[in-house]
Structure 1
Amino acid sequence: MNKRILDKDVQQFIKENREKSPSAIALKKSPFLDVSSSELATQIDGWQRSVRKLPTWAFSSPIYYPDKINLEQCSSEHTALVKQTLIKKGARVVDITGGFGVDSCYMAQEAEVVIHCELNAKLSEIVRQNAIELGVSNLICIATDGVAYIHQQKDDALDYIYIDPSRRVNHAKVFLLEDCEPNIVELQDGFLKKSHTIISKLSPLLDLTAAIQKLRHIKRIYVISVDGDCKELLFVQERDYQGDAVVSTIRIFQDQLQSHTFTIQEEKVTLTRASDPLTYLYDPDVSITKAGAFKTIAKRFDLYKLHQHTHLYTANDIKDHFPGRIFQIQQVYTLSNFKKENKISQANVATKNFPVKVEDIRKKFKIKDGGKDFLYFTTDMTGNHIVIHGYRVR
């Protein structure tokens, strides 16, 4: 870590040039003897990434940005705020996979102390420096193996262990929970002796059902999306908990938060009603579909499903606070009628429970992407393929 980067003259240069291309900065000669052009480019690139992901940090000065990979892997400000709500006041927390420290810093605003464990000594030093600048005085950074640190603690020494397992092992992506590092499946029993609660941040690509089978004492599961993109799964395990897991979907969209809470058992036993398309079409957010809340969301908002396996819904009125997109239906075609009658040359095309891919539909019907029209190719309650044309109202 080059602390000269934090000096006023260097920070002023970064501020004046932060809208410029980092690669262009890297190719120019640095105006500073002890700060290279590549270091300046890294800071400018970091700021540009943080404007979208960590806006509060981006406009806090000065922040020292690490390598690009560390910024790509860290949580966003929105998702870190969700984790902050899970921490009780005055708790003792250990983040065993610290990284850039975003989650640690936000959890520290509730906890008595957060121990940030990070094997990369340079990154650990960066997090320590940033915590000072951000006024997070109860964050303790230790350049160590977090798993080893936990094993060294006495039983019941901690309130929370926070883990963000790496989905890259030996430079290759892994998709099974037990293949991630650290292996929380293998470690969970030992960790629950040291801490009452484990919070694990897992990949949105993870099979939810498989994770439920492999992790014990799951009390809560959070499925978090930001602006239509499923960002992460949070599993909260509590020692000795034996009840049904409660699942909360959290949709963060245009700085607003919508949630839907249900239990896995409730989803299994809930009955739904089917209908032909009515006045409005409802397309649930990705957090709902990832969580598998296909029936409970229909019950909560008094919606009809188009088909048992078509995760689209319909109603004659607008349901406020529905976590997803709402469309006013203009026309419903059978697939054969759409072939004959279609005059739409540009539209946003989507498929749900339909055998043909979007790109093939565009090619076949010569439909360009974009515009205000939406076309849903799907299956109705009687099993027929239909096309729903609508305009978005929410």
Structure 2
Amino acid sequence: MGNDNAIRDDDIAPRINEATRAFIMAHRDEDIRDVALHAKRDGDVDVPFALDQIAGRRIARTKLPRWAATDGIIYPPHVPMEQCSSQPAAEYKARLAAELIAGQPHPTPLVDLTGGFGVDFSFMARAFDEAVYVERQPQLCALATHNLHELGVDNAHVVCGDGVAFLKTMPPATLIYVDPARRDAHGARTVAIADCTPDVLALRDELLAKAPFVVIKLSPMLDWRQTIDDFGGAVRRLDIVAVHNECKEILVVLSRERTERPLIRCVDDDASVEFLAGDDERPSVAPVSTLPDMRFLYEPNAAIMKGGAFATLQRRWPAAQIGVNSHLFVAGRWFGDFPGRAFVIDDIGTMNKKDVRRLLGGVKKANVAVRNFPLTAAQLAKKLKLSDGGDVYLFATTDAGGRHILIRARKNS
């Protein structure tokens, strides 16, 4: 694919002289505040730039370990580092892309129309014969050119320009990736698809005219059912992605092949649950009389909570939901591979004073959580005079009979 507006690596590399490079290497594992406080302002070291690099690498050590392990990486200022994808999320997109293009004729071009810092692109590009990164900010293009070279992504082409304009003239691709900016015309944060830039709803047909697959990264706050409706039959699948039990993004896969019931995949680290849209019916609920006999409590992970895959969950792990909207499950047996948190139940009771005294039994510290309960976790902890932490887990919810109940539990040792 053409690369008329390509950025050269030497557009950015000269900024790092040897003194600055040595300063970064000498202080890269130190506390950034101490470095800033004691840095000598001599003429050879670009101290503000060096501080950005030290701070960026500190974030990357946990968020992007592969990047942090590559000495030549140049990091942007703090805000873009906080906003970029984490390595697990980017690796998942790479696996998704490889899954989608399996069996497609070669060459297989990837086009990322919203390149940004290039994290997602750097992982996805390796699954393709060639890959084009498009970004309208020259500074980010220069960073991407340099960093992709350092990371050994040799099939990448960087184009500095507007993604929508590039779409209109680009040759066919195998997959197009878009991560719309989630800010409206006034710069306010938004989750509505139509308020994002570019407007992928308006571009749907144009995108699919250029590639058989389009992957769009959207806010985890979106109603995924409405999102499927908004794209009018073009959604092939929708992936709800969580990392360490925190829902990070929704990935919408558009395809030229129309489907009435897209695949929904709920992913949290290595755990995955799939179902077809429309199959997410209500799970069965545990009768109140059976609760005292239940030995184990299960809390689904964030991706399953977002997807509402409770009936699918129940078919694979036969546990009963405590109440209609509790999203907490109980069973008489242990499921070691349950996708979420699992606990041993020590006691169950109501909110009456006698039950509360028995349940707490002198406990002064607990991890309090509420599901479908009239108080927040903080309000309940205050009411029960509990400080946060310890080995006791206290869940408050509403059972099938409408009673407000407390469940005292612990991790299975």
Q: Do they fold alike, i.e. is TM over 0.5?
A: yes
Structure 1 residue aligned with 2:174? 159
In the alignment, structure 1 residue 183 sits paired with structure 2 residue 202: no
Give 1:175's aligned amino acid: V
Query: By how many angstroms is 1:271 displaced?
Result: 4.9
In the alignment, structure 1 residue 60 sits paired with structure 2 residue 79: no
- In 2, the alpha carbon distance for the partners of 1:30 and 1:61 equals 23
SS at structure 1 position matched to 2:303: helix
Structure 2 residue aligned with 1:355? 374
Structure 2 residue aligned with 1:17? 27
Moved more, 196-205 or 15-24: 15-24
Bigger share in strand: 1
Maintained 8 Å contact 1:222/1:233: yes
Maintained 8 Å contact 1:11/1:62: no
Structure 2 residue aligned with 1:345? 364
Give 1:272's aligned amino acid: S
Structure 1 residues 69 and 14: CA distance shift in structure 2, 3 A: same
Moved more, 237-246 or 97-106: 237-246
In the alignment, structure 1 residue 41 sits paired with structure 2 residue 51: yes
- In 2, the alpha carbon distance for the partners of 1:14 and 1:354 equals 51
Maintained 8 Å contact 1:25/1:40: no
Q: Deviations over 1:240-286 (max 9, x none)?
A: 3223111111111xxxx111111122213x65242443000000101
Query: By how many angstroms is 1:3 displaced?
Result: 2.1
Give 2:72's aligned amino acid: P
In the alignment, structure 1 residue 265 sits paired with structure 2 residue 284: no
Structure 1 residues 191 and 30: CA distance shift in structure 2, 3 A: farther
Moved more, 32-41 or 123-132: 32-41
Query: By how many angstroms is 1:32 displaced?
Result: 6.0
Query: By how many angstroms is 1:2 displaced?
Result: 4.7
| 5+ residue gaps, structure 2 | 1-10
Query: By how many angstroms is 1:339 displaced?
Result: 3.8
Structure 2 residue aligned with 1:330? 346
Query: By how many angstroms is 1:34 displaced?
Result: 4.7
SS at structure 2 position matched to 1:388: strand
Structure 1 residue aligned with 2:331? 315
Percent identity over the alignment is: 32
| 5+ residue gaps, structure 1 | none
Maintained 8 Å contact 1:27/1:37: no
Structure 1 residues 102 and 355: CA distance shift in structure 2, 3 A: same
Structure 2 residue aligned with 1:106? 123
Alignment of 1:168-317 (within 5 A): 168-169=183-184, 170-216=186-232, 217-252=234-269, 257-268=270-281, 271-275=283-287, 276-277=290-291, 278-317=294-333
SS at structure 1 position matched to 2:127: coil
Q: Deviations over 1:130-163 (max 9, x none)?
A: 1111111111111111111001125xx1111101
Maintained 8 Å contact 1:23/1:41: no
Maintained 8 Å contact 1:229/1:286: yes
Q: Deviations over 1:362-382 (max 9, x none)?
A: 111111000000000011122
Q: Deviations over 1:316-352 (max 9, x none)?
A: 1111321100000001111113444333210000001
Query: By how many angstroms is 1:210 displaced?
Result: 2.1
- In 2, the alpha carbon distance for the partners of 1:273 and 1:357 equals 23
Query: By how many angstroms is 1:191 displaced?
Result: 1.1
**Runs of 4+, deviation exceeding 6 Å:** none
Task: Give RMSD over aligned pairs.
Answer: 1.9
Structure 2 residue aligned with 1:375? 394
Maintained 8 Å contact 2:322/2:398: yes
Query: By how many angstroms is 1:76 displaced?
Result: 1.0
Alignment TM-score, normalising by the size of structure 1: 0.93
Query: By how many angstroms is 1:12 displaced?
Result: 3.7
Query: By how many angstroms is 1:24 displaced?
Result: 4.0
Pick one of 60, 71, 75 that aligns with 2:85: 75
Number of residue equivalences: 387
Structure 1 residue aligned with 2:139? 122
- Which structure has more relative contact order (CA 8 Å, sep 6+)? It is 2
Maintained 8 Å contact 2:300/2:340: yes
